[in-house]
């Protein structure tokens, strides 16, 4: 009877098997660091299988003609994330009380390390986010991306737009200086003139019939708890739909119909 040859025993049974594509294992500090990183990621992936979902989300096919205008959505998302990070640092020093709010902003600007820089990033970043969201909305509109099957993503986008404007409006009061105080009174009054819900909306924003100390707490809660959470959740759903449905090709790219699907011309003899 023919004997099956046993495979050769590994020279060092304690060494880990070589990674595919690497002939001679890790070499040098960088090689070992790379190996350690890959092993840590493998360890997590073996227990969670997250890489499948990540691959699904990241390695999507994009239509022919995809261009720089398609980066406006991601740019809006980046602006939101920047607002969230800078906002967390501002919240460490900001005091939302009517008597301390103005002073706490002065303290951030004049005394806190990099305070003026972070405050400036947050203030200018809000305008950047509003500009980007409008540009992104314009891109999806002019490319016809609101049509079937992406109507729901458009509707979610409208909700994101309203919430982004709410963030700008509620944030404007927080420095509690003369400009922000009077501008917000005007804004709340404008809301009050809306049909049916207007008066209830302005009462909700003021936290009562008059503009007072509790109005500032109300605006602060809307600005840093209520709306950002909702934006983050809706953004997740928005991106899920983008990954699931794919993006729309630019309107000037025409799909080539296969020969057999072309419409046949039927001529009828008289």
Q: What does the binding site for ligand HEM look like in residue numbers (CB under 6 A)? A: 70, 72-74, 76-77, 80, 133, 136-137, 140, 143, 145-146, 150, 153-154, 157-158, 160-161, 164, 235, 238-239, 242, 247-248
Angle between helices 213-221 and 151-173 (to 10 degrees): 150
Indicate the residue among 74 and 189 with the shorter CB distance to ligand HEM.
Answer: 74
- Three-state secondary-structure class, residue 31: helix
Of 199, 225, 203, give the one whose Cα is nearest residue 214.
Answer: 203
In whole angstroms, the minimum distance from the beta carbon of 134 to ligand HEM comes to 8
Let me know: does 94 contact 223? Beta carbons within 8 Å. no
Closer by beta carbon to ligand HEM, 15 or else 67: 67
Please, which residue, 83 or 104, has the CB nearer to ligand HEM? 83
Q: How many CB atoms lie within 10 A of CB 159?
A: 14
User: Which residue has the closest beta carbon to ligand HEM?
Assistant: 157
Short-list 176, 165, 115, CA closest to 137 = 165
Both tokens assigned to 216: 């500032």
Q: Which residue lies nearer to ligand HEM by CB, 213 or 233?
A: 233
- The least CB distance from residue 157 to ligand HEM, in Å, is 2
- For ligand HEM, the closer of residues 140 and 184 by Cβ is 140
Q: Taking the complex as a whole, how short is the minimal distance between the CB of residue 109 and ligand HEM, in angstroms?
A: 28
Q: Do 235 and 76 contact (CB within 8 A), yes or no?
A: no
Report the C-alpha gap between 165 and 176 in whole angstroms.
19
User: What is the closest distance, in whole angstroms, from the C-beta atom of residue 239 to ligand HEM in the complex?
Assistant: 6
User: C-beta of 161: minimal distance to ligand HEM in Å?
Assistant: 4
Report the nearest approach of ligand HEM to the CB of residue 136 (Å): 5
- Distance from the Cα of residue 20 to its chain's centroid: 36
Of 156 and 221, which CB lies nearer to ligand HEM in the complex structure? 156
How many other C-beta atoms are found inside a 10 Å radius of the C-beta of residue 23? Answer: 5
């Amino acid at each position: 009877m023919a004997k099956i040859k046993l495979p050769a025993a590994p020279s060092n049974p304690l060494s880990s098997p070589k990674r595919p594509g690497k002939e001679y294992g890790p070499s040098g500090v960088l090689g070992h660091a790379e190996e350690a990183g890959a092993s840590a990621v493998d360890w997590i992936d073996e227990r969670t299988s997250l890489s499948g979902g990540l691959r699904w989300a990241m390695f999507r096919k994009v239509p022919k003609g995809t261009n720089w205008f398609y980066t406006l959505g991601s740019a809006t998302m980046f602006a939101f994330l920047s607002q969230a990070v800078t906002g967390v640092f501002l919240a460490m020093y900001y005091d939302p009380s009517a008597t301390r709010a103005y002073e706490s902003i002065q303290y951030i600007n004049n005394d806190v390390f990099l305070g003026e820089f972070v405050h400036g990033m947050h203030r200018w970043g809000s305008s950047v986010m509003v500009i980007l969201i409008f540009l992104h909305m314009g891109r999806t509109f002019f490319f016809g991306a609101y049509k079937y099957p992406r109507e729901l993503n458009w509707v979610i986008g409208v909700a994101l737009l309203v919430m982004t404007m709410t963030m700008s409006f509620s944030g404007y009061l927080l420095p509690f200086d003369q400009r922000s105080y009077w501008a917000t009174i005007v804004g709340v009054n404008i809301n009050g003139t809306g049909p049916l819900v207007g008066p209830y909306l302005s009462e909700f924003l003021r936290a009562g019939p008059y503009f007072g100390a509790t109005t500032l707490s109300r605006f602060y809660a809307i600005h840093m708890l209520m709306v950002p959470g909702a934006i983050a959740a809706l953004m997740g759903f928005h991106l899920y739909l983008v990954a699931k449905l794919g993006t729309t090709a630019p309107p000037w790219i025409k799909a080539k119909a296969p020969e057999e699907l072309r419409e046949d011309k039927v001529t009828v003899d008289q």
